[in-house]
Chain A
């Protein structure tokens, strides 16, 4: 790895101050499982002068119950998210999503915050510098999106215009279905945004001097049922080809409320609002489920090589709903 300076931050304020003193030439490291890959392959033209360790900030690693639900610090390891009994019980789709990430060793290192903030996995974007040079593209600020004419088997099937890379984070999909809110702290103070507002087509809304400092998840309504399904070619290691998280409240056999969120289909997590609307107020049966899946994918515009993702996503939606309704 090319050289950088390493600095340990002991508090959020200090981390922010450190970023500022480095004028955008510094980056944060949490578990490092994503960042070190980015740095080793030198995929970006800019290389940081300093890496700021935030694992040493004590107040960012916790799972706490409060009146509104659960507060999870962004430095919480994915393994701890998976193992936490309350998350397993009341926020099962998050627990399942975290368990579906990568491999056991990575989950021992990777943090929830890092999972949300990780960089895209588009294979053009990630092409290593040392086998002929990195590939530039729209997302890197130079040239067109390479995936449009290239091999886009894993790219977006909806919601993309300039960059067709999909949101790689599994936990983001579950947290969106759980209606999580993120707390962001920067030199300008603290702001709270919903999970879906956090993601943008080219990444997230974090300003260079901002950190993710908390993840607040409200309790799902009483009786709500959850599901998280992820489709990959292989169980471990793989990023999602498609995923679905859903939180659905049923009352007397009728769907009262629904949040269905799709992963790996678009640059951001996608709430399938049409699908949600199509099932609310209805009793669950095969036809309703079928309609919901069709509604969710009605706006899909697959690229040359990824129409299969539309089919798979439909199937995942159906299976998620079926598992909840049964």
Chain B
């Protein structure tokens, strides 16, 4: 059923509302914001991976030119972030190279930098640990007194009292007993890659009273930013404003560290303070992906039925946990969506180590878990000679089937069947012709071996968390959406305007949305997961419907007709069927009045979305170089809202620490000194225009009944199946089981027996 053609805007490419600002350079990002009397904050960072500050002398820095404040662990506010709360603004103990030691606010950035050089610190160095399994040994250096064994608590109720931290179901022994093929081993996805939005993180903070803080930041979720910082900062009155955000991919949801620094410095100077990280700091002291190691066992039957999954998931969060428990919960849920299985026994350990911390990154747990586990799963498919496309088609969760989601509750899918989408994707890709069996290249040209791989990923986050919105009808037949939605690249602010314009049958240019400011908007959890279209969209649409209902109620007397018999188009209200006898909104609403509707979306975890990704790679067996030739995504979005924005979300699977974490993306940590060695955009590898794979999206539009426009999003799922699909393709290309990510030439040449490491 295709209904796109009946819509004015939905499903059609319309220019982004902020397009002109972006292409003319007028869009205002955090670095572009200048406030009167604003100071600049800079951070002195630790040279050691682990140590205690024995002595810190700031007197010279305080007297340095232009300096207005110097803060150390001795005089910062008692705020705490982390999950559970365990990370102070500054601490006496440093836990990674680059950890914050002191803060300076000065009239200019240069003056702040100059002052940093005048802070004298004496440290007592402590031994450090970088590997998860080393860290949990009894004699390992301890990062926190409160977390013995470097084990972070998993029973933090991030998603309520039953928050998922393990999957124990059925009887795995029985399951293995009934399996035809069993594989056991360790898979690791430990690139600790950086989502690396182009714009580094930044925050400006200003106190307008002792308890009243305004924060401008590059974030993708302004009201959540407020919500989450409230409890971290002892519940001051916080107003958060999102500037245009130069990319986030989860990482800038709330920038706790820069926010703490700016707010602390602003407090002690009583002036606005801007803290924008440099790219080096962005690499060395901001959000990374979780490290993920899975040690375990998978059993399947000849027909591809998964009989048992058992193992230990070791999650490395670096120097502190920032929502790692939440990612574990979601990751375990996502694994069950990808793999139906009756018998599970997966336990998790969350471990802290002496490196820059992990945080929120697109993929959110599931990408990390699956990328580590799939190499083991692949071996069972190899033993059984099972086509992975058939396997994934068979094993993802279909409507009517169940899974435990992040809240620990059992949910039954009310989503749709994605099998057709996957099959279409396979067709577009030419899977049937290219698939030659496990560890077999699909083509050989001299030293070049071509291989194919596939991955499937599901997520029940399209309906996660709460969204609220007001839609205000103005007498001049314009509409203002009040929703706390930031723009970090998804085009959602524009898409919401489209949904409202469609609902109210108004020209798109008559619909606008308020700035992402927590003071003027109701609550919205923000653009996390894939919830923008479904959750935020539903709230905004129902606010529009509510406003329309009110409008018709008001028009009852004017038009002498029951509200149900009324319709509105282009700012006129009329009796259905007689658009020529309408009255303008202003006659109904009144010139000095407005008409406002309210909408709310309540969480619902019963609508998982899925994506399949097919990849073709080429490996040069003489150099070990891996090239990505082709990507085909396959999904079903119910109804496309804006084709270019959707394409962008899917193409984005290459960036933001997605597909390329199987090819060349990684943060390189020096195992002796704890330094992050590739803190620059030469040594940290990213994909350029010169090496783009052919990229096709196969998108079905099977209406999803629970959304007004039958639509759901895909932003979060798009990156996740990529790394393991490439891993599979590369293994098939070279005819060898490979090991680890990213598959750089050294790893491939080693697997081929050409070098001994």
Query: Do A and B touch, yes or no (CB under 8 Å, in the complex)?
Result: yes
Q: Would you give the shortest CB distance from A9 to chain B, in whole angstroms?
A: 26
Q: A123-B677, A131-B45, A311-B749 are in contact. Are A235 and B691 (CB under 8 A)?
A: yes
Q: A131-B281, A132-B45, A132-B98 are in contact. Are A312 and B624 (CB under 8 A)?
A: yes
- B residues 185-235 near A (Cβ < 8 Å) are none
A151 to B667, CA, bound (A): 12
A44 to B673, CA, bound (A): 19
Contacts of B750 in A (CB 8 A): 308
Taken residue by residue from 675 to 702, chain B's Cβ proximity to chain A (1 for < 8 Å, 0 otherwise) reads as: 1111111110111101100000000000
Contact A131 B755 (CB under 8 A): no
A127 to B622, CA, bound (A): 32
Contacts of B47 in A (CB 8 A): 132-133
- A residues 278-315 near B (Cβ < 8 Å) are 304-308, 310-312, 315
Contact A151 B677 (CB under 8 A): yes
A5 interfacial contact with B, CB 8 Å: no
Contacts of A318 in B (CB 8 A): 622
Contact B749 A308 (CB under 8 A): yes
A91 interfacial contact with B, CB 8 Å: no
Taken residue by residue from 228 to 264, chain A's Cβ proximity to chain B (1 for < 8 Å, 0 otherwise) reads as: 0001011111110100000000000000000000000
Contact B682 A237 (CB under 8 A): yes
B46 interfacial contact with A, CB 8 Å: yes
Q: A233-B685, A312-B624, A315-B623 are in contact. Are A130 and B46 (CB under 8 A)?
A: no
Contact A128 B688 (CB under 8 A): no
Q: Which of A130, A131, A150, A237 contacts B670 (CB 8 A)?
A: A150
A325 interfacial contact with B, CB 8 Å: no
Contact B746 A308 (CB under 8 A): yes
Taken residue by residue from 1 to 21, chain A's Cβ proximity to chain B (1 for < 8 Å, 0 otherwise) reads as: 011000000000000000000
Q: Which of B284, B285, B690 contacts A236 (CB 8 A)?
A: B690
A218 to B683, CA, bound (A): 35
**Interface size of B as a range:** 35 or more
Contact B755 A308 (CB under 8 A): yes
Q: Would you give the shortest CB distance from A205 to chain B, in whole angstroms?
A: 27
Q: Would you give the shortest CB distance from A261 to chain B, in whole angstroms?
A: 19
Contact A311 B679 (CB under 8 A): no
Contact B281 A312 (CB under 8 A): no
Q: Which of B113, B285, B683, B754 contacts A2 (CB 8 A)?
A: B113
Taken residue by residue from 34 to 50, chain B's Cβ proximity to chain A (1 for < 8 Å, 0 otherwise) reads as: 00000000000111100
A80 interfacial contact with B, CB 8 Å: no
Taken residue by residue from 719 to 754, chain B's Cβ proximity to chain A (1 for < 8 Å, 0 otherwise) reads as: 000000000000000000000000011100110001
Number of interface residues of A (CB under 8 A): 39
Contacts of A306 in B (CB 8 A): 746
Q: Which of B114, B671, B680, B744 contacts A233 (CB 8 A)?
A: B744
Q: Would you give the shortest CB distance from A131 to chain B, in whole angstroms?
A: 4
Q: Would you give the shortest CB distance from A296 to chain B, in whole angstroms?
A: 15
Contact B677 A234 (CB under 8 A): no
Q: A235-B690, A307-B755, A308-B746 are in contact. Are A151 and B670 (CB under 8 A)?
A: yes
Contact A131 B668 (CB under 8 A): no
B138 interfacial contact with A, CB 8 Å: no
A236 to B682, CA, bound (A): 10
Contact B673 A312 (CB under 8 A): no
Q: Would you give the shortest CB distance from A130 to chain B, in whole angstroms?
A: 6
Contact B278 A310 (CB under 8 A): no
Q: Would you give the shortest CB distance from B518 to chain A, in whole angstroms?
A: 32
B24 interfacial contact with A, CB 8 Å: no
A153 interfacial contact with B, CB 8 Å: yes
A231 to B623, CA, bound (A): 9
Residue in A149, A150, A306, A316 whose Cβ sees the most chain B Cβ within 10 Å:
A150
Contact A235 B664 (CB under 8 A): no
Q: Would you give the shortest CB distance from A148 to chain B, in whole angstroms?
A: 10
Contact A41 B677 (CB under 8 A): no
Contact B673 A146 (CB under 8 A): yes
- A residues 137-159 near B (Cβ < 8 Å) are 146, 149-151, 153
A62 interfacial contact with B, CB 8 Å: no
**Closest residue to A1 on the B side, CB-wise?**
B110
Q: Would you give the shortest CB distance from A4 to chain B, in whole angstroms?
A: 12
A-B contact pairs, 16 of them (CB 8 A): A123-B678, A130-B45, A131-B97, A132-B97, A151-B668, A151-B671, A234-B664, A234-B685, A237-B682, A238-B682, A238-B685, A307-B746, A308-B624, A308-B750, A312-B624, A315-B447
Instruction: Using CB atoms and an 8 Å cutoff, list the residues of chain A in contact with chain B.
Output: 2-3, 41, 121, 123-124, 126-128, 130-133, 135, 146, 149-151, 153, 231, 233-239, 241, 304-308, 310-312, 315-316, 318
10 A-B pairs with the lowest CB-CB distances in the bound complex, closest first = A308-B746, A131-B284, A307-B755, A133-B47, A132-B47, A315-B622, A123-B677, A235-B690, A132-B97, A131-B98
